[in-house]
Structure 1
Amino acid sequence: MDTTTQASLPSLAPASATLHGHDTVTLAQAMGLLAIVGDLAMGQPIDASARAARLAARIALAAGGDAGAAAHAQMAARLRWSGSTATAAGFARLLGDDIGGRQAMLTRTLSAQQATRLAKVKQHLAPLAAIHCDVAGDIAAMLGLPAPVEHGLRHLFERYDGRGQPQGLDGNGVPAVVYHVALAGDIDILARAHGLSAALATVTRLGGVRYPAALVAQVAPHAQAWLEALEAPEETAPLTDFLPLSVPLTLVADTVELKLPWLAGHSRRVALLVQIAAQGVGLPDAEQRSLARAALLHGIGRAAVPNSVWERRSKPSDADWEAIRRAPYWSARIGNRIDGIEADAQLASQAYERLDGSGYHRSLDATTLGMPQRLLAAAAAYVALRSPRPWRAAHEPASTRTLLEAQVTGGRLDRAAVDAVLAAAATASVVPPTRQLLSAREVDVLRRISLGETGKDAARALRISHGAVRTHVESILGKLGCSTRAAATLRALTLGLI
């Protein structure tokens, strides 16, 4: 990325600013959201992880596990793709399409061209696997899930033959939950893509390679009945571990935004800004709460759109715009599948509607867009303009105001909403003191690399040596207990450090 696009970093609403408790959801809601986001990022149906979770629980029991082992397998399967947004950029570079490419890998339908390309860059897959496992494990830890679930996710791509990632464990050294999740996912995905007979032939061939052959032999006779049982509603089983009642909704937003590094913290800033603006215009507390939550959800649909669309440095094509317009549709679609999130997700999906009907995805207009929708649209527009993008630098406050005023004059944004957002931005622009875990310079470096800058870019922008940046990055990773930059970004956002 050209460093000129990163000269001005957004100062509005650091992660440490409070959303007054509006940013919490139940553990089940958070896991449901993360599961669907992961499915879409991997090119899978919207219920793929939920199906694999039910299969994984049955496999754990068939392998002699107790109710606790089954619950751990179920949780790990739901979160198995939670690290996929962090590797989207890498797969986009390797395969051209992060979503379609990974979908073909999972279903074993890579074209000859894709297979050739993948063979040439195979050495680059190990670092991506490490990032995926690091982020997924951190997510499990942040959600307060049992240690076996976190441990399994940190070794998600290990194989029975020792040729997996990230540590090359083998045999009984691989957590059992990894085998349960891998076999469940393969059976479901391959049966859907090729039929059950072909799926069973493939997993049998992978017995002793990807998972124990004995496990495949135990499971294969039951596969058809278990797959048929997935068509019936899921029975909720009691959990054997103490689990938190609520978790931060910000974690879901942060995880989605790992897909595009330059988006880090975007939804948090929109959420805080729109909450202050809503207070300013006197909206009731319930509407303030819904707006803050909707702002945190408004970008989750991006997971379903390939990175190549978002990373364009030129004008988006008509095909690009068709994909972009579907992002808010997916935000609503995801939310509609999670009990208790539906209304917030519907509001979230209207962040890009405009008063003159020129917005998307439903082309709503002033007759149906109330003040909450108008505030959300203005806040999202403000934060986007004030933030750098691959194709432009961040706008300064004066030019941001001018551009928003033009949208008001053109009948696209609401005057009162824009005024409230501009007033809120002035209130929220003061950055509170940095927490003591990282030094001020380390925070500067982390903010740069979290937005996708290379070490050289950060060194030039901060006027320090490239070696100094490397030293700071090593210190940051050590202090945060992370092994990858993506995981450090996620943890730093959660801790309010950037």
Structure 2
Amino acid sequence: MDTAARASSLSLSFPAALLHGHDTATLSQAMGLLAIVGDLGMGQPLDGSARAARLAARVAAAAGAGAAACEHARMVALLRWSGCTATAAGFAAMLGDDVGARHALVSRTLHARQAARLSDTTGLAEVHCEVAGDIAAMMGLPAAVERGLRHVWEHDDGSGLPSHLRGADVPDVVHHATLGGDLDILARVHGVDRALDMIAQLGGVKYPARLVALVAPHARAWLDALEAAEAPSSQPDFLPVSASLTLVADMIELKLPWLAGYSRRVALLAQEAAQLAGLPETQQRGLARAALLHGIGRAAVTNTVWERSGKLSAADWEAVRLVPYWTARAGSRIDGLGPDAQLASHVYERLDGSGYFRSLDAGALGAPQRLLGAAAAWVALRSPRPWRAAHAPAAAGALLAAQVTGGRFDRATVDAVLAAAAGVRAAPGNGIADAGANAAAGAPVRATLSARETEVLRRISLGESNKAAARAMRLSPSAVRTHVESIFGKLDCTTRAAATLKALTLGLI
């Protein structure tokens, strides 16, 4: 994409506004979603991390850990894949399929051709661990959990990543989570007997041999117990009560840098359009939440499909059509989020029945479903993509109008979306008022980045290289590099993915 065209779109983001608390979830809900997104991205079943978490707690207990340490092990196992979206592009470039290849890596089924393409993954491990640790910190999880996630790929013998920690320097919680996760994955793929043999061979290498000896006699019973529903338990007092669904959306979009902030903008626009359309508060809330959740299923599709420059094949399209299916399935597993995820899974349905995955028509699509689809379409048209520049407002409006004529959207819904995008806001009582003053009411608090640093940050968050950003900003590459280093220092991070995640949370981009 032409960098000048990309630059012209940087100032066209949806006006800052509050989601009125509609993005608030319980900590359990947010962690459950992050776990499922990780499972999808790693090619695992939807309950993979949940199963690993139960086993990790048992491993910790067998090792003599107290109740708090067992809970820490459970949380590290649950969130151990939460940095995987940030490394999807790297694994896709290296192995051709980030989802399938990572499944092969963790299940020890990598075939010779893939193994030949596997090179140094230190940089990818650094990104994964930094993002996972930052997510834990942003959610207010205990320091032991954050530290465990920042070292989740370390091995007992020092062969792990990213820091090559050895022996006692590796947090116990890492061994508990890793061994629990490996037991579940290897038993599922290879059978229990072979899994125990493989784990025994890794004793003293990946995890301490003494820990393997403690676990082995109980492994079968623990695996059998996973088939029974887990008894509900109260949340420990040391954990925060709530978390933000925007963090889940931001984590999902690290998979494709050019998507950064997309779901946030859809949520804001859908909420404002719903107010203009006179929808009740409960439906406005559901729309905002659905918009933040609608990208969950993207994690299940390899980056090679999303980044393909030419026409998608029939197989590619079949994978894409299943994205909203996976979103619905994920939400159905999280208590209290089923209705929001169901609404989210209608984002690509169209009135003429040409949408997916259900191919519903006008008779089955109510106002919330219609508004969500139109809002997502508008934001997509107004956002830059690797294969095109962002459409100007007039062009985007014309394209939506053409879809009204073609029967895919209805005129009233599109009018509400266009009005909201233009800054029209609902006055008290759902009348219509000019946005003017209240558009700035929810403006995010700015950090101490300079205007130039903010522009550099916007560009690298969209996937631009230092060289491309320098060319577009008419700076030298060394000047951009200096700005990037300053940004990293101010945001206390070392990778672009972590900088993007923190910048979104702080409202910088």
TM bracket, shorter-chain basis: over 0.9
Higher deviation after alignment, 316-325 or 21-30: 316-325
- Partner SS, residue 148 of structure 1: helix
1:290 aligns to 2:301 (yes or no)? no
Q: Structure 2: which 5+ runs fail to align?
A: 425-434
Q: 1:384 aligns with which of 368, 380, 383?
A: 380
Supply the distance in 1 between the matched residues of 2:333 and 2:61 (Cα, whole angstroms): 28
Q: In structure 1, how many angstroms separate the alpha carbons of the residues matched to 2:234 and 2:444?
A: 43
1:22 matched to 2:22? yes
Structure 2 equivalent of residue 37 of structure 1: 37
Specify the alignment match of 2:106 in structure 1.
Answer: 106
Superposed displacement of residue 367, structure 1: 0.5
Instruction: Count matched residues.
Output: 494
CA distance in 2, matches of 1:113, 1:436: 47
Q: Any idea what SS the aligned residue of 2:363 has?
A: coil
Match of 1:403 among 399, 402, 405: 399
Q: Which amino acid aligns with 2:259?
A: L
1:270 aligned to 2:266? yes
1:448 is aligned to 459
Within 2, Cα distance between the matches of 1:400 and 1:91?
34
Residues 446, 476 of structure 1: 8 Å contact kept: yes
Within 5 A, what are the aligned runs for 1:56-455? 56-118=56-118, 122-123=119-120, 125-427=121-423, 435-455=446-466
Find the aligned partners of 1:326 and 1:284 in 2 and give their Cα distance.
Answer: 30
Choose which of 463, 468, 478 in structure 1 pairs with 2:474.
Answer: 463
- The whole-number CA distance in structure 2 between the counterparts of 1:40 and 1:5 is 33
Distance, in Å, in 2 between the alignment partners of 1:252 and 1:92 is: 22
Question: Could you give the per-residue CA deviations for residues 274-326 of structure 1, whole angstroms, max 9, x where no partner exists?
Answer: 11111111111111000010111111110111111111111212111111110
Cα shift at 1:187: 0.9
CA distance in 2, matches of 1:247, 1:26: 6
Deviates more, 1:261-270 or 1:363-372: 363-372
Do the aligned partners of 2:59 and 2:180 also contact (CA within 8 Å) in 1? yes
- Whether the 8 Å CA contact 2:444–2:508 is kept in 1: the answer is no
After superposing the two structures, state which structure 1 stretch, 361-370 or 419-428, moved more: 419-428
User: Could you tell me whether the CA contact under 8 Å between 1:107 and 1:189 is conserved in 2?
Assistant: yes
- Give CA deviations for 1:115-139 in whole Å, capped at 9, x if unaligned: 1111xxx22x000000000000011
Question: What are the Cα deviations for residues 122-169 of structure 1, in whole angstroms up to 9, with x where unaligned?
Answer: 22x000000000000011111111110000000011111112111111
**Unmatched segments (≥5 aa) in structure 1:** none
Q: Distance in 2 between matches of 1:15 and 1:248?
A: 20
- Return the letter of the residue paired with 2:465: T
1:104 maps to amino acid? A
- Distance in 2, matches of 1:22 and 1:92, equals 34
* Structure 2 CA distance for aligned equivalents of residues 480 and 160 of structure 1: 31
CA RMSD of aligned residues (A): 1.5
Q: Distance in 2 between matches of 1:15 and 1:197?
A: 58
- In 2, Cα distance between equivalents of 1:272 and 1:359: 23
Measured in 2, the distance between the counterparts of 1:9 and 1:128 equals: 29
Deviations 1:37-82 (A, max 9, x none): 1001000011000000000000001111011110000011100000
Which secondary structure does the structure 2 equivalent of 1:167 belong to? Answer: coil
Relative to structure 1, is the Cα distance of residues 245 and 185 closer, same or farther in structure 2, using a 3 angstrom cutoff? same
Letter in 2 for 1:400: A
Bigger relative contact order, structure 1 or 2 (CA pairs below 8 A, ≥6 apart): 1
Cα shift at 1:86: 0.4
Q: Kindly tell me: are residues 179 and 314 of structure 1, through their superposed partners in 2, closer, same or farther at Cα, counting changes over 3 Å?
A: same
Q: Which amino acid is 2:142 matched to? A: P
Moved over 6 A (4+): 428-431
